[in-house]
Amino acid sequence: MPGALAADAFFDDIPIVLTASRMAQSPVDAPVAVTIIDREMINASGFTEIHDLMRLVPGFLVADWAEGSPTVANHGLGDAYDRRIKVMIDGRTVNSPLWGNTNWQDLPLRVDDLERVEVVRGPNGAAYGVNAFQAVINLITRSPSTESGARVISRLGKDGFYDHGFRANGSAESPIDWRLSGSHRRADNFRNYLDDGGDVNPRETIARSVLNFSATAQLSTRDELGLMLGLSDGTSDRGIPGDLEEPLREDDARSNFLHLSWRRSFAVDSELTVQYYHQDERMRASWLNTRYPPLVIPLDMNSDVRRDDLEVQYSATLSPAWRFMVGAGVRREAARAQSMFNTRGTLSGTSSQLFGSVVWSPVERLKLDLGGTLENHHYSGSLFSPRFALNYALTPESALRLSGGVSYRTPSLVESYAEQVVRIGSQIKQLFLRAGDDVQPERVKHIEIGYAAIFREIGVGLDVRAFHKRYTDYIDDQRCFYPRQPWERPLPSGERLCPPAPSGYAPFEYDLRERRGPRSFLIQNAGSFTMTGGEFSVDWHRSGWGRVVLSQAVIDIDAGRDILDPDFETSAPTSITSLLLVKELPDRWRASLGYYRHAVMNWLNDGDRVPEQDRFDLKLARSFGAPGSGSEVAIVAQSLGGRYVDFHEGRYRHEPRLFASLNLSW
């Protein structure tokens, strides 16, 4: 999905989305529910981190935690690794091959690089194959052809927070449109928190440098070449002061990507695109556990992962009644993480897919959309994700939608092959996460009915939907125990017995003295459940007054008897609300208020209960310079209520933030 095409579609008079079916279309005609976070909303929110923008999307939850990347969930099911949401930059997947999650703080671009964000608020395997399971997020960057000049951005706030950046663009006369942007930032996300038991919990301070380059060359009236390069490098200070098991440490993270594209236009609605994408990530995180002297236990979370992806897509309009898209792709993923896989080697796999869709209008008001992706996955084999959608236009800019389909999520490399060990010499002293035998892909059958409309005369956009989803073969980890001695039987309490340990397993003496003995966490298919709910969003805009964007979601999870996690049904709060209020004031001032609320809920696995929560953000800004230049000064206060519970009620309190910003362009 070339950046220039994205920008051209965005600036049309009629709103256009590109992510729903891989073809440009109005949100009213899309076969699935789509939310657009445009540039005005991005600026008004005051958010400096990309993952925070998801708070503006109906049904989405955002959490940070002091021991890893922030996490995003849609309709619950969230834990430390948001591997059920596909995240893309200009149409290319950026989820990490290791866990399947998105390392949000390490993305090689910043909020200031985004033109808009398109979010498909439900499964979309028919368009993007496996892992487009709960939602699809497409981060669409600013096209170099739409900008000129230079810009500096500086944010400076309390507790050592800063975020400084620049953006420079080529001249309009240049045969190549290009943009170079960079930034460096530091933030204290968590300070050490003393819980009710007097225990100190982890902190987190991040520092990141990001560099991003984008260029497009119009070779002819038909052909366009695109290039994007990105790099993120930095550290995270984590750990607990004075703690022997989780001492203070500095984790190093680096990620980069290369995106090449060629687009040939044959007609107004007919084009061929060829894209190659490469990403790699490196994490260096290791420390010594000295809790059990005289033992010194080395812990190693170092990893190197990469993905290479080649894709070809062709779309065309055959007649006013027929439109189609077809494509193919091949993807190779690889990871090396010695302690996670109990090997010094590299694990890798190659997957391929065929995808396509056809839209037919048998009568003027009716559109039928049939789509699907057939994928041969390196671990799970052949999988087919179909979709059927029917849109009936009530007016030229309002329609009813009925859609349904099947989507899959294949196990990540960790879920497929994990054998996480702690070694001392040649002996395996501890076994943590282990992959079970023959883990099957998760599957969801989904159906929804919706209504989308744009009322231009009153400046209102409306999106309403109800959905029902049936999930099977949900993947989770469950605790299991090893006998304390080889001749002992497992305890009669119903605890699960672990599979046989690998050769060289010699547990620590203190583990053998524990009442229940050494333990592991076994990854396996853990059951089925249903999810039912509804959402609405209203976007009202009036020139000279401002804008109001309100969304609400209600969700209910009904877990089957085979789901053993007691917190599973409450992983989705019963209600989620977001409100962005933007008010134009005299003399080029503007105030914006963000309100984000969710009912009591539980983050799963590494997370825990989070009480009912209300968060208020405020931004006061004044623009200056030439109209439309984007120059402004502002004050932003995030979480006006102070520190708040994030991810785990007993462990983490996220820090509020107060900063001033200057955005200067020329």
Task: Evaluate whether 391 touches 399 at the Cβ level (below 8 Å).
Answer: yes
Task: Compute the distance between CA of residue 254 and CA of residue 187 in angstroms, rounded to an integer.
Answer: 17
User: What's the pLDDT tens digit per position in 66-111?
Assistant: 999 999 999 999 999 999 999 999 999 999 999 999 999 999 999 9
CATH number for position 627: 2.40.170.20
User: CA Rg, the chain, in Å?
Assistant: 25
Hey, what amino acid is at 522? L
Which residues 6+ apart lie within 8 Å of 148 measured at CB?
169, 171, 172
Which two structure tokens, joined as six digits, stand for 579? 């409100």
Taking the C-alpha atoms of residue 488 and residue 482, their distance in angstroms, rounded to an integer, is 9
119: domain range? Answer: 3-665
Q: Tokens 């609300």 sit at which residue?
A: 577
Using one digit for the tens of pLDDT, what is the confidence trace for 578-609?
999 999 999 999 999 999 999 999 999 999 99
Residue 564, pLDDT score: 81
Question: Could you tell me which residues come within 8 angstroms of residue 281 by beta carbon, excluding any fewer than 6 positions away?
Answer: 96, 98, 103, 106, 253, 254, 255, 303, 304, 305, 306
Residue showing tokens 């809920």: 601
Q: Output the CA angle 214-215-216, nearest 5 degrees.
A: 140
The distance from CA 156 to its chain's CA centroid, rounded to whole angstroms, is 27
Q: Residue 67: phi, psi to the nearest 5?
A: -120, 15
Q: How many domains does the chain have?
A: 1
pLDDT, one tens digit per residue, over 459-484 is 999 999 999 999 999 999 998 888 77
Distance (Å, whole) CA 629 – CA 33: 33
For strands 135-141 and 85-89, give the pairing.
parallel
Length of the chain: 666
Amino acid (1-letter code) at residue 492: P
What's the pLDDT at 486? 58
Measured distance CA(524)–CA(411) in Å, rounded? 10
What does the pLDDT read at residue 491?
Answer: 55
| pLDDT at 490 (0 to 100) | 53
Three-state SS annotation for 90-116:
CCEECCCCCCCCCCHHHCCCCHHHEEE
| Number of C-beta neighbours around residue 346 at 10 A | 13
Q: Which residues of the chain have pLDDT under 50?
A: 1-12
pTM value is 0.95
The pLDDT value given to residue 267: 81
